[in-house]
Structure 1
Amino acid sequence: MKKLALAALAGLLSLPALAHDYSAGALKIGHPYSRAMPAGSPTAAVFMSISNSGGADRLLAASTPQAARAELHQHLNDNGVMRMREVAGGIALPAGGTVTLAPGGLHLMLLEVPKQAASGERFPLQLQFEKAGKVTVEVKVESGMAPAHPAGH
């Protein structure tokens, strides 16, 4: 009886973690999140990990009712100046690999955001993959802005 109760409790405790992971074919999308932004900011960014246990695929596009546009972006070092650029042709997802969308690297840029979501809120985001098709994930808004530059730079 005690083992059954512990197993049930362990199952219940794991539900929130499972609820924030998504699948699209061979792709596993982990922890889609955004940082809370100032109320008047017209932009926001979304981050996540995408693991691919199948053949090569590509993230082609994203959309959300949270913004007028969503673009695939990356940070590039342009002669010592960090610049953000749209990724042409989508984000490659190699077979058997994991791609991390994170501050300071690849990310989804939300543009023309009419109203910023507050910390703790969630919003839908539809991802379009070349082979896996469309999947809708829920983006969790977390407190705290990401640093403008990595520590030490």
Structure 2
Amino acid sequence: MSRALPVALASLVLAACTPGGPAKHGDAATAVQVADALCRPTPVGRQTTGCYLTLTAAADDRLMSVASPVAGRAQVHESRMESNMMMMHQVEGGLPLPAGQAVELKPGGNHIMLLAVAEPLKAGDTVALTLTFASAPPVEVTATVGQPALTDYGHASH
């Protein structure tokens, strides 16, 4: 038996024993680790934006939903080519998080959409996100508002 399984099981046990509400980003007992949380700014009049981050689950899990106090709704979306056009769709049934594998939510791929954003988000602001999983306890994350890094094609997509 590999050493990864006992470590993953110990992480789950610790996460299950964590008292209180959602785990905070970076807690040792968090069964899903979150890194590089970023949301795009919203120009005045625009009420939607994308958020990106990297998730690493200790055991197989699924990102089921996202909530934020700055948005009326938040959804997990996937982007894919359909009839030679890039299309976005809400992920049904949760986004798979294979144990120990970093899952990157990024422009042009899987990402979080904030809808009905009440106030414009400006570079340097922060956005609270609550991530809910199928098995792991919820995780509260603070995302920075800014522009994502450029892609290989020289532009940030989304």
SS in 2 for 1:65: coil
Q: Is the counterpart of residue 30 in structure 1 residue 3 in structure 2? A: no
> Structure 1 150/116 Cα, relative in aligned 2: closer, same or farther at 3 Å?
farther
User: Under a length normalisation based on structure 2, what TM-score does the superposition of the two structures give?
Assistant: 0.75
- 8 Å CA contact retained: 2:40, 2:50: yes
Q: Deviations over 1:14-50 (max 9, x none)?
A: xxxxxxx635633210011112121111101110001
Please say which structure displays the higher CA radius of gyration.
1
Percent identity for Structure 1 against Structure 2: 33
The CA RMSD over aligned residues, in Å, is: 2.2
- 8 Å CA contact retained: 2:30, 2:139: no
User: Under a length normalisation based on structure 1, what TM-score does the superposition of the two structures give?
Assistant: 0.77
Alignment of 1:1-153 (within 5 A): 22-23=26-27, 25-52=30-57, 54-142=58-146, 144=147, 151=153
Q: Deviations over 1:73-119 (max 9, x none)?
A: 01010021001100000110001211000000000101111112110
- 8 Å CA contact retained: 1:35, 1:146: no
Runs (4+) off by over 4 Å: none
Gaps in structure 2 of 5+ consecutive residues: 1-24
Q: Which amino acid aligns with 1:32?
A: A
